[in-house]
Structures are given as C-alpha cells and as structure tokens.
Amino acid sequence: MMRHITLAAILIAATNLQAHAENLDEHTYKNYVDKSGNISLPSDVRKTWSHLGSWIVGDKKSPGYGFHDVYTQPEVVDIYRKTSEFPDGAVLVKEIRTVEEGAQTTGLAQWAGETSVWFVMVKDKKNRFKGNSNWAEGWGWALYEAKDPKVNVSKGFQATCMGCHIPAKETDWVFIRGYPTLMKATP
C-alpha cells in the first residue's frame, strides 16, 4: 500500500512540475518576448525573483568589471533543482553594477554601486526565432545599458555573447557554478 502511495505521490509531483513548466513558457513568451523575438528587460527582479548568486570581476580592464548579481523566476529554481535543466521559458537576468569602496569599521570594503548593464537570457527549447541573431544555442540573448534600459544593444549572440559564454557551453551556456541557489541544499 505504501509503495502505491509513494508512486502516486511521485506521479502527482511530476505532473505538477510539467504544468509549472508549461505555465512558465506561456508567461515568458507573453510578457518578455514579442512575436518577432525581441526580448524586454523584466522589471524589479531584485524584489520578486530568486537571486541565484553573486560574484565580482575585479579586473578594471575587463568588459565584465563589476559586481554581478543573477536572478530568475522562482519556479525555474524549483524545476532546475529537480531536473538539472533550465525549462523552456526560463529567464536569467544578470545585473552588473559598479564597484564602490571605502573604509568601514571592519577595514577597506567593496560593495555594489549603480547598475551599468543587464544581460538577459531566455530559454528557447522550441527554436522559435530562426534567423534572429539574438537567438542561438537554445537561448535568446539581450543586453541593456543603464542609460536606456528599453533598448537591446546586443549585436547578436555571435558578436556580443558567445565570447564570454564559451567556457559555459557544457552547462547549457550558463555559469552554474556561480549559482548556489540552483544546487540542492545539503542537510
């Protein structure tokens, strides 16, 4: 009897996970991507989305210099922890902020300052936008500058994104080692 209850519970959980993924897909492509594949920057992700992780690129000569914070929808975290894959419709937003520093009571400290850019990735398992240079390798790619966050300034995956993401090719083009929120909690 317990075996049948456990099997039923697993089937219900799998069904709920599938329904969650389908709703995510619909929501993302309704709210953040238009019919031509233009991606918009989701608003207020710091308040309503899950924070995946942070790191700093400290080399001032690097184009990635600054504090990096990455966010996604809460349901993406749930699905990824169960499947180890980003579901169709997952949105990742990386916010890069300036580095501020100064003396504190604990010593010299650094912290995140003003936002300089946002990178947005949208998972596309259905290859919806063939021929659109901002859609490649199973993702939509966008770049927004703080001076005008409504305009995607990406010149396409090949020109703007691929160079930095090549080291993450084996993990679906995402640097998951920097995202402890995606890892299953250990007791």
| For residues 12-37, average pLDDT | 73
Query: Is 2-182 CATH 3.50.70.20?
Result: yes
Contact residues for 157 (Cβ-Cβ < 8 A; gap 6+): 133, 134, 135, 136, 137, 139, 141
pLDDT confidence of residue 64: 85
pLDDT confidence of residue 15: 39
pLDDT confidence of residue 81: 94
> What mean pLDDT, rounded, does the chain reach?
87
Taking CA atoms, 44 is separated from 47, 48, 163, in Å, by 6, 7, 28
- In tens, the pLDDT along 108-146 reads 998 899 999 999 999 999 999 999 999 999 999 999 999
Split at pLDDT 50, 70, 90, the class of 63 is: confident
- Phi, then psi, of 27 in degrees rounded to 5: -60, -45
Q: Flag the least confident range among 8-17, 67-76, 123-132.
A: 8-17
Task: Report domain extents, the chain.
Answer: 2-182
Tokens standing for 50?
Answer: 């899950």
Contact residues for 126 (Cβ-Cβ < 8 A; gap 6+): 88
In the 3-class helix/strand/coil scheme, how is 165-184 assigned residue by residue? Answer: HHHHHHHCCCCHHHCHHHCC
Q: What is the pTM of this model?
A: 0.83
Segment 169-172 long-range contacts (CB within 8 Å, at least 24 positions apart):
169/137, 172/85, 172/86, 172/138
Q: Evaluate if residue 10 carries a pLDDT over 50.
A: no
- In tens, the pLDDT along 141-177 reads 999 999 999 999 999 888 888 888 899 999 999 998 8
pLDDT confidence of residue 7: 46
- In tens, the pLDDT along 99-110 reads 998 999 999 998
Contact residues for 85 (Cβ-Cβ < 8 A; gap 6+): 79, 172
Q: Evaluate if residue 30 carries a pLDDT over 50.
A: yes
Nearest to 138 by CA among 172, 167, 93, 163: 172
